[in-house]
Amino acid sequence: AQSVSQHNHHVILSEAASLELGCNYSYGGTVNLFWYVQYPGQHLQLLLKYFSGDPLVKGIKGFEAEFIKSKFSFNLRKPSVQWSDTAEYFCAAYNQGGKLIFGQGTELSVKP
């Protein structure tokens, strides 16, 4: 079955630390990839997306993600996190069948 896996369930960092959240997907063929973020008390919103082209994509708030096809990975990165980045982060993979499948989510806590 198609699936998306996120390696880390809860990550705790201090401000200014670098962040990398892992995501792997199990689809073959063409796949569209996303990272969504859910800040405390808010609804899910798009952070960044990859459809094709440059495998390094940049999103809002200084986040970026790299698509590595050979590793079926789409890891999220940020060089220096802020307290306001505290949130839950979801990786998602979208196939041409119209279904967007999410990973289990990673809760990020940034200590001031």
Partner 1 sequence: GAGVSQSPSNKVTEKGKDVELRCDPISGHTALYWYRQSLGQGLEFLIYFQGNSAPDKSGLPSDRFSAERTGGSVSTLTIQRTQQEDSAVYLCASSFKPPNTGELFFGEGSRLTVL
Nearer to partner 1 (CB atom), residue 69 or residue 99: 99
Total number of residues that touch partner 1 (CB under 8 A): 24
From 71, 47, 69, select the one nearest 57 (Cα to Cα).
Answer: 47
The answer to whether the CB of 61 falls within 8 A of the CB of 48 is no
The secondary structure of residue 83, as a DSSP letter, is G
Binding-residue pattern over the window 61 to 100 for partner 1, x denoting contact by CB under 8 A: -----------------------------x-x-x-xxxxx
Q: How far from chain centre, in Å, is Cα 44?
A: 12
Nearest to partner 1 of 34, 81 (CB atom): 34
Give the up-direction half-sphere exposure of residue 1: CA atoms within 13 A in the CB hemisphere. Answer: 5
CB-based burial of residue 112 (10 Å sphere; 0-12 exposed, 13-18 middle, 19+ buried)?
A: exposed
Residue 26 in contact with partner 1, rule: CB under 8 A: no
Among 44, 62, 66, 72, binds partner 1 (CB under 8 A): 44
CB-wise, 12 or 46, nearer to partner 1? Answer: 46
- Contact footprint for partner 1 (CB under 8 A): 6, 9, 32, 34, 36, 43-46, 49, 51, 90, 92, 94, 96-105
